[in-house]
Amino acid sequence: MPANIQFQKDDNFTTVYYQYAVDLSAVERFAQVLQEYSLAKITRIALTEIRDITWGNEQSGDFGNVRLSARLRFYCPADGKLCGCQIAAPAASMFNDDNSVKQSVGERLATEYSQLTGKTVEYRDGWLIGDTSPAPQV
C-alpha cells in the first residue's frame, strides 16, 4: 500500500509519498530513521490510517528548507527495477562536498527502505535537489 510522511520546517509543509509499505509500524520506523537525516520535523505518517507524530523535532542548519531534498535511488535485484526515497530539508552532514549522498548514509537508508517495503534494495546514488530560495510566506 502507498504510504506518506509529512515534513514541517518554519511553518512550511511537504509530503513525501512512498509506493509501498508493509504496514504502519514500518512507516513509523522508517520515519524515525529519516528524522535523523532531516532538519524538518516529521509531523504525520499515513498508510491506511493517519498517525500524528509527537517525537519529531525541527533543527536549524544550512539546508533547512522543505524545498530542498535528498533524493536517493535504490536497485531491487529481485525485479531489476529502480526505486527511490526522498528526504525533505536534509541535514548537510549526509552529503559529500559535491552534494552527492555519502555512501554510508545511502547504504543505511537502503537497509531501512528494505524494511519499509519488505523487498531487498541496494543503494545506487543520491543527490541534493531543489530550490535554495526561501519558501513564499502565505
Q: Give the domain ranges of the chain.
A: 3-130
Predicted pLDDT at 60:
67
Residue pointed to by grid coordinates 519488505: 118
Instruction: Cite the beta strand spans of 57-117 per DSSP E.
Output: 68-76, 81-88
pLDDT for position 135: 55
The CA distances from residue 134 to 19, 63, 93, 130, in Å, are 29, 11, 21, 11
CA–CA separation, 56 and 68 (whole Å)? 18
Residue 36: is its pLDDT beyond 90?
Answer: yes
Amino acid making up residue 101: V
Mean pLDDT, the chain, rounded, equals 89
Tens-digit pLDDT profile for residues 67-124: 789 999 999 999 999 999 999 989 989 999 999 999 999 999 999 999 999 999 999 9
CA–CA gap between residue 62 and residue 49 (Å, rounded): 34
